Structure 1
Amino acid sequence: MQDSEEPLFFRGNGATECEDFVNTVNRYAWKSGKAEDPKWAAHFAMSCLSGKALRWSMQQDKNTRSDWDLLSVALLLEYTEDLEDKESELRSPAIPTAAAAPATELVRGISTLSSGPLSGRIRLDTDFASPVYVSWNAGSAGILTICSNPDDAIKVHWTPGSSRHLIRVLNPSVTKYDYLGVTHFSDDPRYSLFGPNSTASAALTFVTKPNAQGYVTSMRRNKKTGEPVSGKSRAAIWNILADSTIVMIVEDSGSQYAMTPLVGGENNSIYMVANCESYMAAFNLTATTCSRRTLVFEPV
């Protein structure tokens, strides 16, 4: 906890924020009598991660996530420069330029998001001067895109909880596909294999409510044939953090992986990818053709 007793979050915005975060965790561990307990400090630090930092942490091995001596070094090695300018280079020219958001809008108490079912929209990033939303328009391929008009955004409904959960869509383009999910293009390892340097990806789309076995079907179609794609669809994959960031977590072969949103293509389609750098390199993408984003729940 910070000296001001406000909630502590580390979003992964650069070296300065990282150094302050590591120092704050060290001070809080000392004040709590846990300075010699690296496991306790690591668990506390992990509970404070959000945004880019949370997604990065989920790619680390269990030993690193459970040992503050290892985790603090890994954090400092990962965040070696302030990323504000670097991030701006990755923004798509089709999307408005970002402006700094007030810190008070980025930090919300967990109690704010745990009082019962909530409805709202999904915004991309938290700091656009002109808001951009996930649109209800999935196109002929069934891939969700972006929009600037909030009236064209999907309206979602969810119940806060500590485990991964469903997000229901109140205005789907096709009635039976009324949940937010993702679909891999195929079972080809390029699209579905997780692990180091993974190029796994899945399109953000509408899916059906899971059946008794947890299976769903989706609107995702092959652009060339119009037929359903053969890849796996997922629905109960969402976590909404205390700062309203929406995180997609996939469990595969006993491990959990956080997926990062990318926006790209002629229609500004939204994909979730396991590793941005590996994915962009494998499919010859650049910062001018796609850009990283963060999904944010916006109550209405």
Structure 2
Amino acid sequence: MAETLAKKPSFTGTDGIEAEMFIQQVRRAAFHEGKLRDDAWIADFAATCLSGEALRWHSTLDKDVRRDWIKLESALLEKYPVFLDSMSDIGKPEPEHQASKKPKPDGVGAVPPPSTVTRASTSWSYSFMSMIFGFNGRIKVVTNIKEMNGYVARSPTRWGHLASVQGKAGSLQAKFVDGGSKQSYLKMLNSTMDHEWLGIQWCCSPFKVGKEGAALVGVTGDDNEDVAGSSRWSKGPTGAGLWQVGPDGQLTITWVDGDDTHVLTPLTRTKDREIFFATDPTAFTTKSKYEWVHARLVFEPMHHRNLGTLLALSTSPGNSQPETTTKTV
């Protein structure tokens, strides 16, 4: 039992992907203890691994569900679904949104979640994107290190960059805005900065795609002219109309360099939780003296568990879409 407890699973209720991983880990622990067919033992063991929202949800379940792993497992999958397959008819992939150069995550901190999720989340068409214009939400930062998880902060660091905070208090609230020409902006609603949009600012000027990083910052101005970023350190190009979101809520940011469109990899610095992006995370982190881990940015709608649930509610009979907001420049 000591070995099992040393590798004890944990589940906080982040999303369906975490739920699937948790179920698999619980099954392995039960198998290791020779308890795979003891549903009461597995259910009791799983209950000790819950925290946060998952713990609160578990406490509302009927006793017969909490005490029977078969029922509890079904309840977990129902409560925390994965929406990629069920919503696949919303939009079709468009090749021009794919990265011209795929990032190389090997050897850079924690390994990111399965790449199939990333590919599905970065290739949805503008017809899907238009469905979420006007939605308000927070931006969750998800890594493979529990202590590094959180939300994008509403206040910048001393360098003018945005980092993550561990709870919703102090987190940024943002709204998707249609910028036209298949652009999507994230308008900051409660930021302590004077800047209006959420965007990135490259470290150096001139910069070379592939070796440099870009900080998550506040941005003012139109992407075509008079653009200013909040960074007090980064001196490179700045942009804001760069965002895409998949049906699972995962955010993707792209950067156009000539004829090439690059999908950037999010990274967070363990020293201060600042969030950066890179086209080649291996090259970027190798030249850095700091430790970095891969991250996922997930749009979490206000008052709803995830984007899939919100879209399902808003498109069902008797419900209306939020008012579409268009960026005025």
Q: Answer whether TM exceeds 0.5 for this pair.
A: yes
8 Å contact from structure 2 (residues 138, 172) kept in 1: yes
Residue 242 (structure 1) aligned with residue 247 (structure 2): yes
The one of 268, 272, 275 equivalent to 1:267 is 272
1:60/1:280 Cα in 2 relative to 1: closer, same or farther (>3 Å)?
closer
User: Which residue of 2 is the match for residue 171 of structure 1?
Assistant: 190
RMSD of the TM alignment (CA)? 3.8
Q: Give CA-to-partner distance per residue, 1:80-106, whole Å, 9 cap, x none.
A: xxx9xx99x6179xxxxx9x9xx9xx9
Larger Rg: 2
Q: What amino acid does structure 1 have at the position aligned with 2:230?
A: M
The one of 262, 284, 287 equivalent to 1:257 is 262
Residue 117 (structure 1) aligned with residue 128 (structure 2): no
1:47/1:214 Cα in 2 relative to 1: closer, same or farther (>3 Å)?
same
CA distance in 2, matches of 1:252, 1:260: 16
Residue 90 (structure 1) aligned with residue 110 (structure 2): yes
The one of 284, 292, 295 equivalent to 2:294 is 292
Residue 206 (structure 1) aligned with residue 218 (structure 2): yes
8 Å contact from structure 2 (residues 250, 297) kept in 1: yes
Q: What amino acid does structure 1 have at the position aligned with 2:110?
A: L
Which structure 1 residue ranges, 5 or more long, are not aligned? 1-45, 62-77, 93-97, 223-228
8 Å contact from structure 2 (residues 270, 293) kept in 1: no
Cα deviation, residue 209, structure 1: 3.4
Q: What amino acid does structure 1 have at the position aligned with 2:174?
A: V
CA distance in 2, matches of 1:251, 1:193: 12
1:47/1:185 Cα in 2 relative to 1: closer, same or farther (>3 Å)?
same
The one of 207, 212, 216 equivalent to 2:227 is 216
Q: TM-score, normalised by structure 2?
A: 0.52
The one of 166, 173, 176 equivalent to 1:148 is 166
Q: What amino acid does structure 2 have at the position aligned with 1:152?
A: G
Cα deviation, residue 127, structure 1: 8.2
Which structure 2 residue ranges, 5 or more long, are not aligned? 1-91, 303-329
Percent identity (aligned) = 17
1:154/1:91 Cα in 2 relative to 1: closer, same or farther (>3 Å)?
farther
What SS does structure 1 have at the residue aligned with 2:253?
A: strand
User: Which residue of 2 is the match for residue 231 of structure 1?
Assistant: 236
Q: What amino acid does structure 2 have at the position aligned with 1:147?
A: V
